[in-house]
Chains A and B, each alone.
Chain A
């Protein structure tokens, strides 16, 4: 395992030129994962249809993947990426892993291969829940990353099973309604229950932790699943430059606490105390995003975020959901 500084100097397999929105957390995540995987082992990515795919793998526009301006001489730095359909990234990764392992066991491949699957939360939790859980259940030795922006961004910001309560999405519009009323799927628990070897919920806003988790995911027994909270500038409707701030606020206020867990060892919740009084108020997180503009508003003079009149009950429900979310993370961390 290399240090954080060394990792920062490694060559990322995610290159400039993608058409992801400026400030998209997905590109920050790929930059980091790209660097961590420059570790002397050949890297293969599989990717589901999503913003992350259509904006990075467009031909003949820039394919924003690969190390160096040209294919590297060093095979270990070479990089391949495979897209098939919306939901299949984990299965593609598993198949790639199996071929590599099978060839290795025959003695026909003596170089190491690391395989990473990337999907959005729509791809992983709605249409692709089957493939996600079964790849985990079969203990495929791959890293699965899920970029959780809580919406189907690529098709225009529709509700996904990861959408948090009261969020405005294009299919749960908050005009005359409170927005989304479904609590999100407990995907962290599902991944643990399906048999994952390692589960984390971390964004690159927690830089060192994130890099360490990705490094660990490449070594761990069985399937490693990293859920990456991914503030979406266009879907969450916030201002340029706030991506990392929102990722930190969301984690600290209890919406998506930083969490790492390993089978047999248990886990930890970091940077998000269980006691609500020790956490930033959830309104700080909500107030920066226009997807919650029906719930809260910022005082133009003081900058204070206030619950809008008539929304007190919904706000209470949301606060209760956040607490239950934090409690749930602590109880998951206690599991071995």
Chain B
């Protein structure tokens, strides 16, 4: 192989080794982006398409590794079809042999150039199959990795493709920033904002935006797709060139075998970085709203609160079934003479404890609706209990499981759960948790 000569390179020392500036010309990567949407457009499509369009429109995304699994498959198919159809594209799709390989590939690609965004989509056992590497990634500092999780129950025995969020919730300790979206617009918007948060110099933590399989991945709705140039402007405002070297532009070692004291320091730093995400997320969300006129990233969506006025029953849940609660809330409240409000959780890791505690402090009862299998009272229930711990006047917690295995949480199921919430205003709930299905308490 012959020696190559090229433009000037300058050396910069960093705590992670030397960075050689001028080796990778990011302006050329940006210039090579062929826009998918030169102007803003209304599109009617499903959630996977919304997520795929968002990832395609980013100039920093040039490689898309993937592996099919229901219900996320359409993401990689859409990306492949659009990349294939676009003349002169700088993008490339890479179908790997397994999800583990996808995750490993993301490590290699993200480490090669820390200014590129490397994304994929997966679900359920696909995410489980990646686990060894997602846990490494969580600590890696590679905030330019984004795994879109299309929620699906993590079970193969019996095999099912239903969209409950047990995959996302089982992977909360992997170390990714996990943000739940509901509705096509929110899916699209969340995928655009997630890497902005993950790649922030203080955060450098991979992200896992997600949405419910089938219910959101496969159903169509109309949403706005912004012009590629507008997305670039928004992302460029936030994403600065990575100060640390990648394997291509660096003289560096990554993923070393570290001795105990250093590993301990490493884990502390990982924790600190993800805590910083809590502070930055609302800032990014607010800027998104200012830029595009739609709500941006938030800890949760809220409904029914009037300032800090007390509320009889506050529902805490996540995902599209929360919409059914929203639709019956007014009528149920009037009929039961009980005020209600609700939080649909968006940031599920790190859990926004303080904000949740503040919002729930004036509730009499908090009805937590869990949709994933859990060894105890429910993932969300434990987080809410933790958030409320130590309040002078503790709201009573009613823990419910509903919509497990991807079942729709019907109006009648919401009503019986709300009835239990109402009863808990005056007396303790009858069980530490209750399971609801098809309009009945089991």
Contacts and interface: CB of A to CB of B under 8 A. Distances in A.
A60 interface: yes
B24 A96 contact: no
Contacts of B97: 130-131, 134
A129 to B, nearest CB: 11
B28 A71 contact: no
B107 A92 contact: yes
A63 B258 CA distance: 10
A80 B114 CA distance: 14
A31 B101 CA distance: 30
A75 B254 contact: no
Contacts of A218: 1
A219 interface: yes
B250 interface: yes
B132 A96 contact: no
Contact of A95 (B18, B24, B25, B107): B107
A61 B259 CA distance: 8
B109 A58 contact: no
A301 interface: no
Given A40-B4, A95-B108, A109 B248 contact: yes
Nearest to A102: B62
A44 interface: yes
Interface residues of B, number: 58
Interface in A60-100: 60-61, 63, 65-66, 71-73, 75-76, 78-85, 88, 91-96, 98-100
Interface in A31-75: 39-42, 44, 46, 53-54, 57-61, 63, 65-66, 71-73, 75
Given A44-B248, A72-B251, A110 B256 contact: no
Interface in B1-26: 1-4, 6-7, 9, 11, 13, 17-18, 20, 23-26
A65 B253 CA distance: 8
Interface stretch (A111-119, A175-183, A185-193): A111-119
Interface in A219-242: 219
A334 interface: no
Given A41-B3, A57-B256, A96-B109, A82 B247 contact: yes
B11 A71 contact: yes
Nearest to B258: A59
B8 to A, nearest CB: 10
A219 B23 contact: no
User: Which one of B7, B247, B250, B254 has the highest number of Cβ atoms from chain A below 10 Å of its Cβ?
Assistant: B247
A181 B112 CA distance: 43
A271 to B, nearest CB: 28
Interface of A: 39-42, 44, 46, 53-54, 57-61, 63, 65-66, 71-73, 75-76, 78-85, 88, 91-96, 98-100, 102-103, 105-114, 130-131, 134, 218-219
